[in-house]
Amino acid sequence: MGAVATSADNAMAESFNATLKREVLRDAACFTDELSCRRKMFRWLTRYNTKRRHSWCRYLSPNAYERAYTATLALAA
């Protein structure tokens, strides 16, 4: 457990932020206005949650993993 308000407090959020910075915000200087930045962020977030495979969830998208997990819980109940 890390000290309060350090990156060790929430490794998953820090990993997400690092990925966001690496894949989207490195080109921040090329955004012509706020709307173009918002559109790029929305496209990236949509891909991140629906199509991009993640190693932490057995190489499924987060949405597919959640559907499979929810189905497993329903069977157990």
pLDDT of residue 62: 85
CB 59 within 8 A of CB 53: yes
**Tens digits of residue pLDDT in 59-77:** 888 888 888 888 887 777 6
pLDDT of residue 3: 65
d(CA 59, CA 53): 5
**Tens digits of residue pLDDT in 13-61:** 888 899 899 988 887 888 899 999 999 999 999 988 888 887 877 888 8
pLDDT of residue 4: 67
d(CA 45, CA 77): 32
- For residues 39-66, b (16+ Cβ closer than 10 Å) or e, as one string? ebeeebeeebeeeeeeeeeeebbeebbe
Would you say residue 1 has pLDDT above 60? no
